Structure 1
Amino acid sequence: MPITHLSQDPVFARIIAETPAPKPFYDWENDIYLALLESIVSQQISTKAADAIFRRLLGLFPDNYPHPNALLAKSTDELRSAGLSFQKIKYLQSVAEFALTNRMDRPFFDTMTDEEIVQYLIPIKGVGRWTVEMLLMFVLDRPDVFPVDDLVIRQSMLRAYADQTAGLTGKALYRRLHEIAEPWRPHRTLACRYLWRWKGVVPASNTLPEVTPAR
């Protein structure tokens, strides 16, 4: 059982005990293309604003689905009317262009490793590793994803494992976070979903150092 496995880490056992169990979440199950469009719309804005803009974007199409050819046929002004910035419009168009010439179906991705999927999708403008990792977790249901570049994941780990990360910064801290998460395999996705929900408190005297992602 995943919970039993994660609870072998005494620190994580406390996190589980203090945190409501994550609920199943599949926003665009099996639709990788649509999930990428939504992730781009959601970048750097609130969830409420992103939801409203994405609904307006879908409403620009007769069947409420921005098929790649249909999306590319829309003018900049039409797409701007949904509330999209010029940069996000370029990113959405990049996803659509990619989808026209590359496979984006679930059976295709099911043959690939997590890292192969990351490398397959990050050439798309506007799509980075974090975006693909969210897709792996919430659309493709991959069980062992560890998005260490996610700010909430990092800060939650620094709260919970303060004694193991004290004094570390930069790449040394980045490596240590990976080492802490290693025993969570093969259930790191579930572990991260707990870390997102955990309401750990940072001591007033504790300053969270910044993590420099490995290159």
Structure 2
Amino acid sequence: MKTYKEILQHYKKDKVLLAAIDSIPHEIKPALDIDVYRALLNSIVSQQLSVKVVEIIWKRFEDLFVDGYPEAEKLLAIDDTVLRSVGLSRAKTQYLKNVAEFALENEMSFDYLTKKTDDEIIKYLTTIKGVGKWTVQMILMFPMDRLNVFPVDDLGIQQRMVSLYGVDVEKKLLKPALIEIAENWQPYRTLACKYLWKMEL
């Protein structure tokens, strides 16, 4: 497997992206996390919230457990009102419990999932109510460090690509246009997106 530094060399044919990456002072490094179950819970908590708010709610959530780890059985045993008291919405409370139920009844180990393709993992985990494609893509990109994920539905990615490449098309044509641009990054679209998120709008 190529290192991130080696992957950056692959972007040489996209001078716009490479120039933007060069303007970012901090190097992005892999953040592999084999605990996919915990990462999925965290991803649900993170939906539509700022990083700072997520940190506060996640810490309160972890504090509900004696050892700080949200084991599935213990999570399911906690009353919904207690979970909501730490800042979780009614929907997120149910989604977290859906993940816990799934984890008890199905395989979610890193070793099991790593044998599947990206599309297979998306299909597998989106059977959990409350877990959508974007959420699983974040799992693929960060804790699983899959190399070729392109979350075209992500608003941050859309905004930065429109700004960077001067994309000016009808709304219905936006996603196809962005997918075409990202073809130049194949088969390493993940790292390009991680750098896009670091860019100032």
Q: TM-score, normalised by structure 2?
A: 0.91
Structure 2 CA distance, aligned partners of 1:176 and 1:22?
Answer: 28
Which stretch has the larger CA shift, 46-55 or 182-191?
46-55
Give the alignment of 1:99-138 within 5 angstroms: 99-138=103-142
Question: Does the 8 Å contact 2:30/2:145 carry over to 1?
Answer: no
| Equivalent residue number for residue 81 of structure 2 | 77
Structure 1 CA distance, aligned partners of 2:86 and 2:142?
Answer: 25
Change (3 A) 1:21 1:145: farther
The alignment status of 1:3 with 2:8, answered yes or no, reads yes
Q: From the two aligned structures, give the one with the greater helix fraction.
A: 2
How far residue 76 of structure 1 moved from its aligned partner, in angstroms, is 1.5
| Equivalent residue number for residue 3 of structure 2 | none
Percent identical residues:
47
| Equivalent residue number for residue 19 of structure 2 | 14
Structure 2 CA distance, aligned partners of 1:60 and 1:75?
Answer: 11
Consecutive aligned runs of 4 or more in structure 1 exceeding 4 Å deviation: none
Give the alignment of 1:55-204 within 5 angstroms: 55-162=59-166, 165-166=167-168, 168-199=169-200
- Structure 2 letter corresponding to 1:195: L
How far residue 199 of structure 1 moved from its aligned partner, in angstroms, is 2.6
User: What is the SS of the residue equivalent to 2:13?
Assistant: coil
User: What is the SS of the residue equivalent to 1:7?
Assistant: helix
Question: Does the 8 Å contact 2:150/2:193 carry over to 1?
Answer: yes
Which runs of 5 or more structure 1 residues have no equivalent in the other structure? 201-215
Residue deviations 1:145-197 (CA, integer Å, cap 9, x gap):
111111111111111111xx32x223322111111101101111111111111
Q: TM-score, normalised by structure 1?
A: 0.85
User: What is the SS of the residue equivalent to 1:144?
Assistant: coil
Change (3 A) 1:49 1:71: same
Which stretch has the larger CA shift, 103-112 or 75-84?
75-84
Structure 1 CA distance, aligned partners of 2:17 and 2:126?
Answer: 32
Question: Does the 8 Å contact 1:22/1:197 carry over to 2?
Answer: no
How far residue 25 of structure 1 moved from its aligned partner, in angstroms, is 5.2
- Structure 2 letter corresponding to 1:2: I
Structure whose alpha-carbon radius of gyration is higher: 1
- Structure 1 letter corresponding to 2:22: A
- Structure 2 letter corresponding to 1:24: K
Structure 2 CA distance, aligned partners of 1:190 and 1:122?
Answer: 23
- Structure 2 letter corresponding to 1:109: L
Structure 1 CA distance, aligned partners of 2:91 and 2:39?
Answer: 18
| Equivalent residue number for residue 37 of structure 1 | 41
- Structure 2 letter corresponding to 1:68: A
| Equivalent residue number for residue 50 of structure 2 | 46
Question: Does the 8 Å contact 1:21/1:194 carry over to 2?
Answer: no
- Structure 1 letter corresponding to 2:190: T
